[in-house]
Structure 1
């Protein structure tokens, strides 16, 4: 093929006026569908099986087939099939095709990658409507207005000879061709194609191009435009390119292009003509990533097709259909889904890159030296493949890997460094040769660009090397047996230890989370049972301890963000859960995802669940405040106003919200708000903490009580019902001057409907520690934990303030505890 011909085809593609005319060779290569001769013979054999046709007619059809008179044979058989009402059944058996039935996507993908706005075909099957890059509507000749609209708007697949599932449109025998010739609107469409577009015949044999319909078009064109300078093109194998055939088609203004002796080379030959190949491959990778993110098992066949399209044949080490099925398999546990997703995407992406070249880019290049001219093609080609492989991984998966310690450069998670890599990718072809204006600056002349390609290489190497079982470990089975009755549940490392109330020194059982350190643990009464819930930075967990020592449910953030806070509330028969991450608030019903609210910023520290169900957020943006779905519920100015009504000291200057915890008391929905108080003290400030109680009334929070604490920071707050009222139990986090002060406080009982200040009734645990957390264990005692040089558990008698040491142990450290009846 001359360079002039190649340039003409590439120009037609760039100008979006080239229309591929796809013949049966494409469908045969892709799915083994019959050639025209095989289709006619299949119709004969179908009638033979019915036993309803005279043997003489069948013998005549066979004779016509042997003589090469396919049109007459097809006309004879079509008439009998229609007479017996078997026409539709035969078409369905011969040409019906689903996306998953295509066994080789190489040739269809090469056609799709041309990214032509309009396709045309003489085939009856729907394979061209399976375009992986753009949706295409099949339009048949019986809808002339739609065909004209497709020509004008440049969209769809023109089925010139009909579609199998519309039997009346299928052009098969002499009568059908005569009927087609009488359609003036169809004739006008065909002539418009010839005059206004550049046609490229793909998978059409020389004989196929002489059929009564196409042949008539060619005869008209040769007679009318015999001396025209413009040409159309046909890709034919060497065996079909003798000089007489080439000359015959050239007289009809079709230039034959010999693509070689082996039909299997046609896909790569087609790609060699394609100026949009890089754009098409980037589009394919982007579409694949969108499908992975959507995670709909119904997309398996399309994902397999895209994987087939983006994985180079020379690197093919996987079965793409299996990989796609595994990525989109329906799994109830999100950790299992992420594990499987990572494993199979690693296999696909790993097959797309040259690992040795990627390693060369990562480690064997000096970051601060320009890439020498000899090495630039290899460097560009490696960047192209690495970027395509990187684009396969959905961002939630990359975020989840990053938070689990996989070394991914944050600039690629935030997309601000991708610009520099894309600059290299869009100026290079698959072989690494530079594209575009040679007078423009080569991106590889910029050290920062080279550095970011290297960052991409090292990030991709880390992702490909990540162990799915380490990144998303399988929760280990629990240990021991769960005691019946009152128990202490301690969040310690990645486990929830359960200790019987009558033997707190020894764990009875341990429930494993499997990922990260549990931040909190709490008991929930739901559907007549007691469940335990907890969360780590990567997931939220639900256990039914009396039924199993493994989590009943695991929920990982859908967007891959770090879990910052989880809150639950039971209303009626339903468990409502809100999960706050850096990017979303996810709402779960009965621990199953329902919807998510995207956040425009990540300055939210914590959330609590209240009746409604609704949630309250601690928003540190524009000053501390608590807000809900309908607006601000509580500001620090409101807190100051409330405190001023009960405080007599004038030096109260400001407060800061630090923690929120929901509670209920005598039917009231209460929020415990831990605050830090600033007071003027001499030349500086005196910082103290306290707990404000606010009741949810309609859509606002109404402060009604306050407990001041003689420490700088309160760490945990629990509201405990007592006879006729309530008390608060608090664990403290000492400030700079508080190291020797008691670590646990409890208030005097306070009337259920009381308003005003609460008094500290007692304190305990004077040991130095980082913080303390406490939980009520009946009206007269509390259980407390200290975390310092070692971990300690204590029981505190609220009547006399005496603390009894229960246990002392080393890491993993305690994060939270809960006292509940299991």
Structure 2
């Protein structure tokens, strides 16, 4: 038993080690890409938040209960969600099946199903530690975008008194403001939000106005070139068509970039293969442990260490700012020959370092 406990302890200790290159990033240099894993950790009581597969299953079941999908289609989608590997295609087909036959995804019954599934989200917040960690990073300039339909982060942030704002790609002016860092507490939902009456899409054609706008695309792709993306709770984000259209298609020399992805290491061979594959995309795959329960503690530790970093652009307070040169000269004269060594504080001020005056 003792041996088993020691093994568990070693595993936990190993899972808490974090790459120096990651924790030395300034918060404003990071962009969090959050997926279903974050929602699953925060609200485990809602199965639809656990994964894409779980979400699609829940939509199908709800569509059957609401009678907004033909029984034959229900049976067919149940088979697809079990067998098909490309769940984005399944979800896309499901949306189209419950939308007008005009090529336009609004209005649709898919949104009604999500509103039923995600009803009263605020009552299901059980483990807010991950959201608190994300909010701490946002306070210091980290940007956030998500593939999730839920707004758990915004709900939690509002409870903490933060002016949270949910954004989507249809409002190009807002997207530009967000991309330039002007909306500190904005969360960009690239698939849309379940509360949006215009509906959600999983196909770049649904946002063709955005993807064909050179100004918007340049600003968004510049984020992928200049920020370090931290994929958190994301499974197959790189296969996501919207993400590909926004960030991957025209970004060259991805291997020169430095992004990060937090993953569960269930199988060593698969994990190290994923590491090697993702490096080709400029992404460093990092394990937070071998069980999902390690995820919240890892994220909390990670955000704490990043937020401890002092910004290289932090204002350096000059000695003349605090006391003025005349005050320093006066201190020297008063001490005179009695003590040629200035007190530590006066020496710091004279040298212009004033470390103690810089706020953490």
Give the structure-1-normalised TM-score: 0.31
| Matched residue, 1:164 | 194
- CA offsets per residue over residues 675-713 of structure 1, 9 Å max, x none? xxxxxxxxxxxxxxxxxxxxxxxxxxxxxxxxxxxxxxx
How do 1:260-339 residues align onto structure 2 when only pairs under 5 Å count? 260-273=289-302, 274-275=304-305
1:24–1:123 Cα contact (<8 Å) kept? yes
- CA offsets per residue over residues 391-434 of structure 1, 9 Å max, x none? xxxxxxxxxxxxxxxxxxxxxxxxxxxxxxxxxxxxxxxxxxxx
| Matched residue, 1:27 | 39
Change (3 A) 1:192 1:2: farther
Matched, 1:110 2:133: yes
Counterpart of 1:113 in 2: which secondary structure? helix
1:97–1:125 Cα contact (<8 Å) kept? no
| Matched residue, 1:257 | 286
Change (3 A) 1:59 1:143: same
Change (3 A) 1:195 1:82: same
C-alpha displacement of 1:164: 0.9
| Matched residue, 2:78 | 62
How do 1:379-390 residues align onto structure 2 when only pairs under 5 Å count? none
Change (3 A) 1:13 1:133: farther
Matched, 1:198 2:225: no
Counterpart of 2:26 in 1: which secondary structure? helix
Counterpart of 1:162 in 2: which secondary structure? coil
Counterpart of 2:38 in 1: which secondary structure? helix
Which structure: greater helix fraction? 2
C-alpha displacement of 1:76: 2.9
Matched, 1:123 2:135: no
- CA offsets per residue over residues 96-126 of structure 1, 9 Å max, x none? 4443431111221222222343211111111
C-alpha displacement of 1:68: 2.4
- The structure that has the greater radius of gyration is 1
Counterpart of 2:289 in 1: which secondary structure? coil
Size of the aligned set, in residue pairs, is 275
Counterpart of 2:188 in 1: which secondary structure? strand
Larger relative contact order, structure 1 or 2 (CA cutoff 8 Å, min sep 6): 2
Cα separation, 1, equivalents of 2:16 and 2:150: 34
Cα separation, 2, equivalents of 1:135 and 1:18: 20
2:24–2:306 Cα contact (<8 Å) kept? no
Give the structure-2-normalised TM-score: 0.67
Matched, 1:248 2:264: no
Instruction: Name structure 2 gaps, 5 residues minimum.
Output: 1-13, 101-106, 310-354
Counterpart of 2:261 in 1: which secondary structure? strand
Change (3 A) 1:55 1:96: closer
| Matched residue, 1:677 | none
C-alpha displacement of 1:39: 1.6
Match for residue 74 of structure 1 among 91, 106, 111 = 91
- CA offsets per residue over residues 8-66 of structure 1, 9 Å max, x none? 3233235x121111111111111134221112112222222244543332222122212
How do 1:544-623 residues align onto structure 2 when only pairs under 5 Å count? none
Change (3 A) 1:105 1:82: same
Matched, 1:44 2:69: no
- CA offsets per residue over residues 595-620 of structure 1, 9 Å max, x none? xxxxxxxxxxxxxxxxxxxxxxxxxx
| Matched residue, 1:236 | 263
Counterpart of 1:28 in 2: which secondary structure? helix
RMSD of aligned Cα (Å): 3.2
Counterpart of 2:25 in 1: which secondary structure? helix
Counterpart of 2:230 in 1: which secondary structure? strand
| Matched residue, 1:94 | 117
